[in-house]
Amino acid sequence: MITTVEAVAQLLAQAKRVAVLTGAGVSAESGIPTFRDAMTGMWSRFDPFELASPEGFARQPAMVWNWYAERRASVGKAKPNPGHFALAEIERRVRHFTLITQNVDGLHQQAGSRRVIELHGNIRRVKCSRDGGVKDGWTEDGEVPPRCSECGGYLRPDVVWFGELLPARALQEAGSASLDCDLFFSIGTSNLVEPAASLPWTAHRHGAKVVVVNPTDEGQRRGPGIEYLLGNSGEILSQVVNAAWHKTSKATHS
Protein backbone atom coordinates (compact mmCIF):
# COMPACT_ATOMS: atom_id res chain seq x y z
CA MET A 1 0.00 0.00 0.00
CA ILE A 2 1.04 3.61 -0.40
CA THR A 3 2.94 4.70 2.66
CA THR A 4 4.63 7.86 3.94
CA VAL A 5 8.22 9.05 4.26
CA GLU A 6 7.82 9.23 8.04
CA ALA A 7 6.59 5.62 8.29
CA VAL A 8 9.47 4.37 6.14
CA ALA A 9 11.96 6.45 8.13
CA GLN A 10 10.73 4.75 11.29
CA LEU A 11 11.14 1.30 9.68
CA LEU A 12 14.65 2.25 8.58
CA ALA A 13 15.69 3.66 11.96
CA GLN A 14 14.51 0.45 13.67
CA ALA A 15 15.78 -2.02 11.06
CA LYS A 16 18.69 -4.27 11.98
CA ARG A 17 19.57 -5.67 8.54
CA VAL A 18 18.75 -3.64 5.43
CA ALA A 19 19.14 -4.70 1.80
CA VAL A 20 18.58 -2.48 -1.23
CA LEU A 21 18.16 -3.32 -4.91
CA THR A 22 18.56 -0.42 -7.31
CA GLY A 23 17.79 -0.13 -11.00
CA ALA A 24 18.13 2.41 -13.77
CA GLY A 25 15.53 4.71 -12.16
CA VAL A 26 18.05 5.67 -9.46
CA SER A 27 20.37 7.05 -12.17
CA ALA A 28 17.59 8.71 -14.17
CA GLU A 29 18.04 11.94 -12.15
CA SER A 30 21.72 11.86 -13.11
CA GLY A 31 20.67 12.12 -16.74
CA ILE A 32 21.23 8.46 -17.63
CA PRO A 33 18.20 7.12 -19.53
CA THR A 34 16.50 4.09 -17.96
CA PHE A 35 16.26 0.94 -20.06
CA ARG A 36 12.53 1.20 -20.74
CA ASP A 37 12.79 4.91 -21.49
CA ALA A 38 15.91 4.27 -23.50
CA MET A 39 14.07 1.70 -25.62
CA THR A 40 12.68 4.78 -27.33
CA GLY A 41 16.01 6.62 -27.03
CA MET A 42 19.46 5.22 -27.49
CA TRP A 43 18.30 1.67 -28.20
CA SER A 44 15.55 2.55 -30.65
CA ARG A 45 17.88 2.76 -33.64
CA PHE A 46 19.51 -0.59 -32.81
CA ASP A 47 18.35 -4.09 -32.11
CA PRO A 48 19.35 -4.44 -28.43
CA PHE A 49 20.29 -8.08 -28.97
CA GLU A 50 22.79 -7.03 -31.65
CA LEU A 51 24.40 -4.58 -29.24
CA ALA A 52 24.36 -6.49 -25.97
CA SER A 53 24.93 -10.17 -26.63
CA PRO A 54 28.00 -12.36 -27.25
CA GLU A 55 26.54 -13.26 -30.66
CA GLY A 56 26.11 -9.59 -31.60
CA PHE A 57 29.67 -8.87 -30.44
CA ALA A 58 31.04 -11.80 -32.48
CA ARG A 59 29.22 -10.51 -35.55
CA GLN A 60 30.14 -6.81 -35.21
CA PRO A 61 32.78 -6.32 -32.47
CA ALA A 62 33.71 -2.79 -33.56
CA MET A 63 30.08 -1.57 -33.59
CA VAL A 64 29.41 -3.01 -30.14
CA TRP A 65 32.70 -1.62 -28.75
CA ASN A 66 31.92 1.84 -30.18
CA TRP A 67 28.37 1.82 -28.82
CA TYR A 68 29.63 1.03 -25.34
CA ALA A 69 32.40 3.64 -25.75
CA GLU A 70 29.64 6.19 -26.42
CA ARG A 71 27.69 5.06 -23.32
CA ARG A 72 30.88 4.99 -21.20
CA ALA A 73 31.60 8.58 -22.24
CA SER A 74 28.11 9.76 -21.26
CA VAL A 75 28.24 7.82 -17.99
CA GLY A 76 31.65 9.42 -17.35
CA LYS A 77 30.01 12.86 -17.49
CA ALA A 78 27.12 11.88 -15.20
CA LYS A 79 27.25 12.78 -11.52
CA PRO A 80 25.66 10.98 -8.58
CA ASN A 81 22.33 12.51 -7.52
CA PRO A 82 20.83 12.92 -4.01
CA GLY A 83 19.44 9.38 -4.20
CA HIS A 84 22.94 7.92 -4.54
CA PHE A 85 24.22 10.08 -1.68
CA ALA A 86 21.29 9.10 0.54
CA LEU A 87 22.06 5.41 0.00
CA ALA A 88 25.72 6.01 0.89
CA GLU A 89 24.57 7.67 4.14
CA ILE A 90 22.26 4.75 4.96
CA GLU A 91 25.24 2.40 4.53
CA ARG A 92 27.18 4.49 7.06
CA ARG A 93 24.33 4.39 9.57
CA VAL A 94 23.05 0.81 9.32
CA ARG A 95 25.55 -1.79 10.52
CA HIS A 96 24.22 -4.63 8.39
CA PHE A 97 23.58 -2.98 5.04
CA THR A 98 23.85 -4.47 1.53
CA LEU A 99 23.50 -2.47 -1.68
CA ILE A 100 22.75 -4.55 -4.76
CA THR A 101 22.60 -2.77 -8.09
CA GLN A 102 21.54 -3.71 -11.61
CA ASN A 103 23.17 -0.50 -12.85
CA VAL A 104 26.50 -0.54 -14.60
CA ASP A 105 27.32 3.18 -14.26
CA GLY A 106 29.40 3.11 -11.06
CA LEU A 107 27.54 6.13 -9.62
CA HIS A 108 26.88 4.41 -6.27
CA GLN A 109 30.63 4.07 -5.72
CA GLN A 110 31.18 7.67 -6.82
CA ALA A 111 28.62 8.80 -4.21
CA GLY A 112 30.57 7.01 -1.46
CA SER A 113 28.87 3.61 -1.25
CA ARG A 114 31.70 1.27 -0.33
CA ARG A 115 30.23 -2.20 -0.70
CA VAL A 116 28.25 -2.43 -3.94
CA ILE A 117 27.16 -5.76 -5.40
CA GLU A 118 27.13 -5.20 -9.17
CA LEU A 119 24.76 -7.83 -10.55
CA HIS A 120 25.17 -6.71 -14.15
CA GLY A 121 28.82 -5.61 -14.13
CA ASN A 122 30.26 -2.15 -14.70
CA ILE A 123 30.52 -0.30 -18.02
CA ARG A 124 33.72 1.44 -16.86
CA ARG A 125 35.54 -1.92 -16.71
CA VAL A 126 36.59 -4.12 -19.63
CA LYS A 127 37.46 -7.80 -19.82
CA CYS A 128 38.94 -10.13 -22.40
CA SER A 129 36.26 -11.77 -24.54
CA ARG A 130 38.46 -14.90 -24.77
CA ASP A 131 40.03 -15.52 -21.33
CA GLY A 132 37.50 -13.47 -19.31
CA GLY A 133 40.23 -11.62 -17.42
CA VAL A 134 39.14 -8.18 -16.18
CA LYS A 135 41.58 -5.48 -17.27
CA ASP A 136 42.51 -2.30 -15.40
CA GLY A 137 42.76 -0.39 -18.63
CA TRP A 138 43.48 -0.65 -22.30
CA THR A 139 45.42 1.29 -24.94
CA GLU A 140 43.56 2.79 -27.84
CA ASP A 141 46.14 1.83 -30.45
CA GLY A 142 43.89 2.22 -33.43
CA GLU A 143 42.46 -1.33 -33.57
CA VAL A 144 38.79 -1.46 -32.55
CA PRO A 145 38.09 -3.27 -30.30
CA PRO A 146 41.53 -3.23 -28.61
CA ARG A 147 43.07 -6.63 -27.94
CA CYS A 148 43.95 -8.44 -24.70
CA SER A 149 47.67 -8.07 -23.95
CA GLU A 150 47.76 -11.66 -22.64
CA CYS A 151 45.98 -13.69 -25.28
CA GLY A 152 45.19 -11.31 -28.13
CA GLY A 153 41.43 -11.78 -27.86
CA TYR A 154 39.18 -8.75 -28.31
CA LEU A 155 38.43 -6.72 -25.19
CA ARG A 156 34.73 -6.17 -24.35
CA PRO A 157 32.76 -4.26 -21.70
CA ASP A 158 32.60 -6.07 -18.32
CA VAL A 159 28.78 -6.08 -18.31
CA VAL A 160 26.24 -8.90 -18.42
CA TRP A 161 24.82 -9.37 -21.93
CA PHE A 162 21.59 -11.02 -23.01
CA GLY A 163 21.84 -14.78 -22.55
CA GLU A 164 24.81 -14.53 -20.18
CA LEU A 165 24.91 -15.69 -16.57
CA LEU A 166 25.22 -13.12 -13.81
CA PRO A 167 28.51 -13.12 -11.87
CA ALA A 168 28.05 -16.12 -9.53
CA ARG A 169 29.56 -14.49 -6.41
CA ALA A 170 27.50 -11.31 -6.82
CA LEU A 171 24.31 -13.32 -7.27
CA GLN A 172 25.09 -15.50 -4.25
CA GLU A 173 25.78 -12.47 -2.03
CA ALA A 174 22.61 -10.73 -3.25
CA GLY A 175 20.56 -13.85 -2.55
CA SER A 176 21.93 -14.17 0.99
CA ALA A 177 21.25 -10.51 1.72
CA SER A 178 17.62 -10.85 0.60
CA LEU A 179 17.17 -13.95 2.82
CA ASP A 180 18.84 -12.28 5.78
CA CYS A 181 17.37 -8.77 5.88
CA ASP A 182 14.42 -7.45 7.86
CA LEU A 183 13.89 -4.47 5.51
CA PHE A 184 14.30 -4.56 1.71
CA PHE A 185 14.14 -1.50 -0.54
CA SER A 186 13.45 -1.97 -4.27
CA ILE A 187 14.35 1.38 -5.81
CA GLY A 188 14.08 2.59 -9.40
CA THR A 189 13.58 -0.79 -11.02
CA SER A 190 10.73 -2.16 -13.11
CA ASN A 191 11.45 -5.50 -11.42
CA LEU A 192 11.08 -7.29 -14.74
CA VAL A 193 14.47 -8.87 -15.32
CA GLU A 194 15.31 -12.08 -13.46
CA PRO A 195 17.05 -13.12 -11.29
CA ALA A 196 17.30 -9.61 -9.79
CA ALA A 197 13.54 -9.14 -10.03
CA SER A 198 12.87 -11.90 -7.48
CA LEU A 199 15.12 -10.53 -4.75
CA PRO A 200 12.52 -8.25 -3.09
CA TRP A 201 9.92 -11.00 -3.08
CA THR A 202 12.36 -13.56 -1.68
CA ALA A 203 13.01 -11.12 1.16
CA HIS A 204 9.27 -10.65 1.61
CA ARG A 205 8.68 -14.42 1.78
CA HIS A 206 11.31 -14.59 4.52
CA GLY A 207 9.51 -12.02 6.64
CA ALA A 208 11.15 -8.76 5.55
CA LYS A 209 9.15 -5.60 4.97
CA VAL A 210 9.54 -4.45 1.36
CA VAL A 211 9.50 -0.77 0.41
CA VAL A 212 9.24 0.04 -3.31
CA VAL A 213 10.45 3.51 -4.33
CA ASN A 214 9.29 4.38 -7.84
CA PRO A 215 7.15 7.05 -9.53
CA THR A 216 4.69 4.27 -10.32
CA ASP A 217 3.59 1.00 -8.73
CA GLU A 218 2.68 -0.35 -12.17
CA GLY A 219 3.77 -3.93 -12.71
CA GLN A 220 4.97 -4.30 -9.12
CA ARG A 221 3.61 -6.82 -6.63
CA ARG A 222 1.15 -5.82 -3.95
CA GLY A 223 0.26 -7.33 -0.61
CA PRO A 224 0.67 -7.06 3.15
CA GLY A 225 4.20 -6.03 4.07
CA ILE A 226 4.83 -4.40 0.67
CA GLU A 227 4.80 -0.60 0.92
CA TYR A 228 5.11 1.99 -1.85
CA LEU A 229 6.68 5.40 -1.77
CA LEU A 230 5.64 6.94 -5.10
CA GLY A 231 7.99 9.53 -6.57
CA ASN A 232 11.55 10.16 -7.66
CA SER A 233 14.21 8.32 -5.66
CA GLY A 234 16.51 11.34 -5.38
CA GLU A 235 13.92 13.38 -3.53
CA ILE A 236 12.29 10.53 -1.61
CA LEU A 237 15.49 8.93 -0.27
CA SER A 238 16.80 12.28 0.92
CA GLN A 239 13.52 12.88 2.75
CA VAL A 240 13.64 9.40 4.32
CA VAL A 241 17.23 9.88 5.54
CA ASN A 242 16.36 13.33 6.94
CA ALA A 243 13.29 11.98 8.71
CA ALA A 244 15.16 8.94 10.05
CA TRP A 245 18.30 10.60 11.35
CA HIS A 246 18.47 14.32 10.77
CA LYS A 247 15.12 14.87 12.43
CA THR A 248 14.76 18.07 10.47
CA SER A 249 12.10 19.87 12.47
CA LYS A 250 9.17 20.99 10.40
CA ALA A 251 9.34 24.69 9.58
CA THR A 252 7.01 26.26 12.15
CA HIS A 253 5.02 29.18 10.90
CA SER A 254 5.54 32.05 13.31
Catalogue the long-range contacts made by 106-111 (C-beta closer than 8 Å, 24 or more residues apart). 106/75, 107/26, 107/27, 107/30, 107/32, 107/75, 107/78, 107/79, 107/80, 107/81, 108/22, 108/80, 108/84, 110/79, 110/80, 110/84, 111/80, 111/84, 111/85, 111/87
Binding to ligand OAD in span 124-153, by CB under 6 A: none
Does position 216 interact with ligand OAD (CB under 6 A)? The reply is yes
Q: Which amino acid is at 250?
A: K
Residue of the chain from 9, 12, 19, 29 that contacts ligand OAD (CB under 6 A): 29
Does position 190 interact with ligand OAD (CB under 6 A)? The reply is yes
Does position 25 interact with ligand OAD (CB under 6 A)? The reply is yes
CA–CA gap between residue 208 and residue 202 (Å, rounded): 9
Nearer to ligand OAD, 145 or 188 (CB): 188
SS3 203: helix
Closest contact distance (angstroms) between CB of 104 and ligand OAD is 7
Which of 84, 108, 120, 204 is the catalytic position? 120
Nearer to ligand OAD, 12 or 24 (CB): 24
Which residues, in sequence order, are CB contacts of 117 under 8 Å at separation 6+?
98, 99, 100, 101, 170, 173, 174, 177
The pair phi, psi for residue 246, each rounded to 5°, is -90, -15
Active site residue 96: no
Q: Which stretch binds ligand OAD (CB under 6 A): 9-17, 66-74, 175-183, 211-219?
A: 211-219
Does position 193 interact with ligand OAD (CB under 6 A)? The reply is yes
Chain centroid to Cα 17, Å, comes to 19
Residues 35-74, one symbol each (x = binds ligand OAD by CB under 6 A, - = not), give xx--------------------------------------
CB atoms within 10 A of CB 200: 26
Does position 85 interact with ligand OAD (CB under 6 A)? The reply is no
Q: Which residues share a beta bridge with 147?
A: 154
Q: Which stretch binds ligand OAD (CB under 6 A): 12-20, 34-42, 109-117, 123-131?
A: 34-42
Residue ranges that bind ligand OAD, judged by CB under 6 A: 23-25, 28-29, 34-36, 102, 120, 160, 188-190, 192-193, 213-216, 232-233
- Catalytic residues, by residue number, are 120
